[in-house]
Structure 1
Amino acid sequence: MKKLNSVLLVDDDVATNFISKMLIKKAGITDHIETALNGRQALDYLTNTGKYEKSDSIFPQPMLILLDINMPVMDGWEFAEAFSKLDKNQKEKIVIVMLTSSLNPDDKEKAAKLPAISGFQNKVLTSEGLTSIMNTFFPDHLD
């Protein structure tokens, strides 16, 4: 299986990030998982600014971002809007899947209208959900 170069988890809930990380590791779809606690941190990571900046390492661009909606500082909607304004080379080939506990059907509809958002899944990420994401967006990375 060809692995994804990186997965970025954007969620302010540490337990959710832990569960997602464990599932991703178990699935073996990447060797590099980063976590951001809000949209601002995620943007800093994607643009290599802010607290992620280190002179001795290069951050692999994530191929998959799992994005929560409700977060402090910058929520998922604000992140999607800011993401769509990034330079093409900072966002191309990145798939964003909203991962949310929101039961509001308007959220799913809103996500479907945003070009930056490729998919929408309910929290907590499951192995079936991860398989579905891989089958849908990364079929060339499967066995």
Structure 2
Amino acid sequence: MLDQILCIDDDPITLMLCEKVIIKASFSNEIITAENGEEALHYFNTLKYTNTENQLKRHPQLIFLDLNMPIMGGWEFLDHFKSEAFSEFKDIKIIILSSTVDPEDREKSKAYPMVIDFLSKPITLTMLEYLKNKI
């Protein structure tokens, strides 16, 4: 079981479903949500400035990321998140969870080393079992 997961999606129903399935599967102790990439980056910036070197740095081990969101989409989030500014979070794995079926998106995701899989919405218990074995 993971300690903490971040779900980034602009659809409140998708976020609610994510939370319910993750809880039912006992996949994570804590689920944090963000409605777009900008909100997620703000969350990570807050972590950077509230954690001191003496504290245990606690952050998500896994991110479920939607691609198509207003304000800041998944691709923009990935571009910012892979930068030096967020290097202390480079061990976080990302699963793209999207409704897109475009093979170009799947191929593009391979350019981001932190992206370990590309799955289709909605999240399911079967997906989480698959991920438990993969992580």
TM-score norm. by structure 2 comes to 0.87
Q: Which residue of 2 aligns with 1:41?
A: 39
1-structure distance, mates of 2:39, 2:70: 11
Which residue in the other structure is 1:96 paired with? 94
Comparing both structures, which one devotes a greater share of its residues to strand? 2
Shift of 1:29: 2.0
Report percent identity of matched pairs. 35
Structure 2: tracts of 5 or more residues without a match: 51-55
Q: What residue in structure 1 maps to residue 86 of structure 2?
A: 87
1:77 aligned residue: 75
Q: How many residue pairs get matched?
A: 127
Query: What secondary structure sits across from 1:96 in the alignment?
Result: strand
RMSD of aligned residue pairs (Cα, Å): 1.7
Residue equivalent to 2:13:
15
**Alpha-carbon separation, structure 1, partners of 2:41 and 2:132:** 23
Runs in 1 of length 4+ with deviation above 4 angstroms? none
Secondary structure (helix, strand or coil) at the match of 1:66 reads: strand
Partner of 2:104: 106
Whether the 8 Å CA contact 1:83–1:116 is kept in 2: the answer is: no
2:53 alignment counterpart: none
CA–CA separation in structure 1 for the residues paired with 2:125 and 2:131: 10
